[in-house]
């Protein structure tokens, strides 16, 4: 086991999570990746381990909406890591549509991953960070967590909830030396926005979110950032 710091990333197998994983790997963090699809997750972990041989990369396939699976994943990573220095609470799904035709089952699946999943991960990691008296929790919320567009209401309601949870948690954790920040991006070039009528190059790049997080991590202890809106210049 090396003495690198450790970052836990949910939804680390692709998209924004993978972009952040790459940035943190460059910074020398050991990585623990969680996502649902085991094959995709192992491929991502292998790619990072091959590119960054000086860090440890481990992965655990889990559904963040299932509390016991999140708990087992964290126990698995903590066999080889001392502390959780950074949490990237990123796993999420998007479904769009007008509210009057939105079916309850789809809404429940949004809430289960984006809200309950976030709660599961944050709750377990926050209690560890309180004991450690250090750590940084990033919630990957959305611009839809700050203002809502037509047909994004169901998704927006889960992201407004996450920003609210993060705001409260930031204050709760301050006395323990733990920072909490919500990142609220517009359109990012990932599978999630593949259907958006925009060129990929005009979207925010996943690595941009990684660079932003790197910047927050480099701030002095006296800086506490509640949330960061990241507008996409083509949509602003």
Ligand X SMILES: NC(=O)c1ccc[n+]([C@@H]2O[C@H](COP(=O)([O-])OP(=O)(O)OC[C@H]3O[C@@H](n4cnc5c(N)ncnc54)[C@H](OP(=O)(O)O)[C@@H]3O)[C@@H](O)[C@H]2O)c1
Task: Catalogue the active-site residues.
Answer: 155
Q: How far apart are the C-alpha atoms of 69 and 63, rounded to whole Å?
A: 6
Scanning 51-59, 92-100, 170-178, 216-224 for contacts with ligand X by CB under 6 A, the matching segment is: 92-100
CA–CA gap between residue 20 and residue 236 (Å, rounded): 23
Is-contact 185 207, C-beta < 8 A?
no
Rounded CA-CA distance 29/6 in Å is 5
CB of 68 to ligand X, least distance (A): 13
- Closest CB to ligand X among residues 49, 146: 146
Q: Is 93 in the site for ligand X (CB under 6 A)?
A: yes
Q: Is residue 192 a contact point for ligand X (CB under 6 A)?
A: yes
If one asks whether residue 87 binds ligand X (CB under 6 A), the answer comes out as: no
If one asks whether residue 151 binds ligand X (CB under 6 A), the answer comes out as: no
Q: DSSP readout, 93-155? A: ------GGG--HHHHHHHIIIIIIIHHHHHHHHHHHHHHHT-EEEEEE--GGGTS--TT-HHH
Binding flag, residue 90, ligand X (CB under 6 A)? yes
Q: Does 210 bind ligand X (CB under 6 A)?
A: no
92 binds ligand X (CB under 6 A): yes
State which of positions 6-25 bind ligand X (CB under 6 A): 10-11, 13-17
Q: Which is nearer to ligand X, 13 or 22 (CB)?
A: 13
Q: Is 187 near ligand X (CB under 6 A)?
A: yes
Answer for the pair 30, 57: CB distance below 8 angstroms, yes or no: yes
**With binding defined as CB under 6 A, does residue 36 bind ligand X?**
yes
> What is the largest distance, in Å, between two alpha-carbon atoms of the chain?
54
DSSP string, 58-90: EEEE--TTSHHHHHHHHHHHTTT-S---EEEE-
* Residue 40-69 contact track with ligand X, rule CB under 6 A, x = bound: x----------------------xxx----
Give the interface with ligand X as residue ranges (CB under 6 A). 10-11, 13-17, 34-37, 40, 63-65, 90-94, 113, 117, 140, 142, 185, 187-188, 190-193
């Amino acid at each position: 086991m090396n003495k690198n710091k450790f970052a836990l990333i949910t939804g680390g197998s692709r998209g924004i999570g993978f972009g952040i994983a790459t940035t943190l790997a460059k910074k020398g963090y050991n990585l623990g990746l969680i996502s649902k699809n085991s094959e995709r997750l192992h491929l991502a972990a292998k790619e990072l381990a091959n590119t960054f041989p000086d860090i440890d990369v481990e992965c655990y396939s889990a559904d963040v909406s299932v509390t016991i699976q999140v708990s087992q994943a964290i126990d698995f990573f903590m066999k080889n890591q001392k502390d959780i220095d950074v949490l990237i609470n990123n796993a999420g799904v998007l479904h769009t549509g007008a509210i009057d035709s939105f079916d309850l089952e789809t809404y429940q699946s949004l809430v289960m991953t984006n809200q309950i999943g976030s709660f599961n991960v944050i709750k377990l990691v926050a209690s560890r960070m309180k004991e450690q008296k250090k750590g940084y929790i990033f919630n990957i919320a959305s611009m839809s967590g700050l203002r809502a567009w037509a047909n994004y209401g169901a998704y927006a309601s889960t992201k407004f909830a996450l920003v609210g949870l993060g705001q409260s948690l930031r204050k709760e954790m301050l006395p323990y030396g733990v920072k909490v920040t919500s990142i609220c991006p517009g359109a990012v070039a990932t599978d999630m926005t593949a259907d958006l009528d925009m060129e990929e190059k005009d979207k925010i790049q996943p690595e941009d979110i990684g660079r932003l997080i790197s910047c927050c991590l480099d701030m002095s202890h006296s800086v506490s950032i509640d949330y960061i809106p990241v507008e996409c210049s083509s949509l602003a």
